[in-house]
Structure 1
């Protein structure tokens, strides 16, 4: 068991999106957002995020008891508090979302300040093998991002794109990756020009993605020595994809 701090968490807003007919999303629905995410800075308090089932109850005369079953799923509004930063691109887009009636893509990386980060070597092979000297401590399914130092990654991998650790070939110091959790292992076909490569990985289950609508913005009051903050209400309108 590993305890994870809320401190260091980051929240991102993507672009406007159309809700799917079945109100269900998966990781593939967020692929186009990889180059669109804007971090909403100045985050001071994170609201709770998650689904709850509506309760359906039925009274039984002969048993003198009420039985409850789960009904439709619904996510409560997430109340997030931010320190106003007028020129922050993420806060500007969040304000645009409040002023519109459109749904947007959202991503939260919980406890991002505790991410695992370090230099790696990537082989040119099928599949490519990533070696993390000293050990990586990652689990199958962990999301990983590679960043080249003054050059390019091996052909087959893209800098800044999220990949996922596979169970196959997973050892204390090496692993393979796929474009989606549990997908096909990625192969590299040519060496890159980077003088160094850094990998950064979030723990499994600490990244949440969803489509939702920004409903409101309010400013707090208080006595003289109270910092002015803005509370934004974000309501998920789809399931929450946990990575």
Structure 2
């Protein structure tokens, strides 16, 4: 088995543009589909992701031993730190979120996006339109863009990001305008040679929680001014695989 090391460098942190209500069940990727994300710039150090269980003990008289057992699960608080930029929209959003008692959605996009792939593709005029890309090997929700030497069918615009809706077979798939959205219908006419190109995305971690601290850290002469943020997760983490 080959060695695989995933560096933290290249990762990005995002906060949703509006607060959300935390559901009383575990969240899924679909709960974040409508979120408008704001990247928090100048990311310096990343907090930990994932759950842990509350540790509990019971003292067993007959065994003269303390027995450990797992209790409630939680995602412990995380610390994400940014080189201070008072005009950065994401940092402004984190400071504003700290001043409220609301929960916000968060996304951490990790390093590890696949290599961009590109190939000549054909597109049917149909409901829905079907893209043929020989041996595409793409999964549902993979982002793709199109360019052309002529004109794409009505319903598609060159340079716009679309998503693989349904993989029909090894060579064909349909498209949607958003992840999990309605399949796109193509109409009109088309011309020229079309090229499809993936828009790779790295693995993601999605969760909801509250910003409990957004402190400006200073330090000594050789320290950068920092925005040190503490986030209290109030949901599970959703692990989204890399796509591309």
Same fold (TM over 0.5): yes
Aligned pairs for 1:155-170 within 5 A: 155=155, 159-160=160-161, 163=163, 169-170=169-170
Tell me how far apart the structure 1 counterparts of residues 5 and 230 of structure 2 sit (CA, whole Å): 27
Partner in structure 1 of residue 8 of structure 2: 6
How far apart are residue 237 of structure 1 and its match?
0.7
User: How far apart are residue 202 of structure 1 and its match?
Assistant: 3.0
Secondary structure of 2:143's match? strand
Question: 2:214 aligned to 210, 217, 220, which one?
Answer: 217
SS in 2 for 1:38: strand
Report 1:63-142 matches (<5 A).
Answer: 63-111=63-111, 114-120=113-119, 121=121, 123-124=123-124, 128-129=130-131, 131=133, 140=139
Partner of 1:49: 49
Could you say if the C-alpha distance between residues 68 and 31 of structure 1 is closer, same or farther in structure 2, counting changes exceeding 3 Å? same
**1:229 pairs with 226, 231, 238, which one?**
226
**Unmatched 5+ residue regions in structure 1?**
none
State the Cα distance separating 1:62 from its structure 2 match.
Answer: 1.7
Q: Deviations over 1:131-190 (max 9, x none)?
A: 37xx7776x57x5222344887874899446x468787358xx77778999x89956544
CA distance in 2, matches of 1:192, 1:217: 54
Which range is displaced more, 102-111 or 211-220? 211-220
Distance 1:224 1:20, change over 3 A: closer
Contact 1:23 1:237 in 2 (8 A): no
TM-score by length of 1: 0.75
Distance 1:149 1:242, change over 3 A: same
Whole-angstrom distance in 1 between the partners of 2:47 and 2:152: 39
Q: CA separation in 2, counterparts of 1:87 and 1:192?
A: 46
Whose radius of gyration is greater, 1 or 2? 2
Counterparts of 1:107 and 1:221, CA distance in 2? 26
For the residues of structure 1 that align with 2:160 and 2:189, how far apart are their CA atoms?
Answer: 11
Per the alignment, in what secondary structure is the counterpart of residue 5 of structure 1? coil
RMSD over aligned Cα atoms: 3.7
Correspondence 1:26 to 2:28: yes
Q: Cα deviation per residue 1:59-90 (whole Å; 9 max; x = unaligned)?
A: 21222322222211111111111011222211
Aligned residues: 230
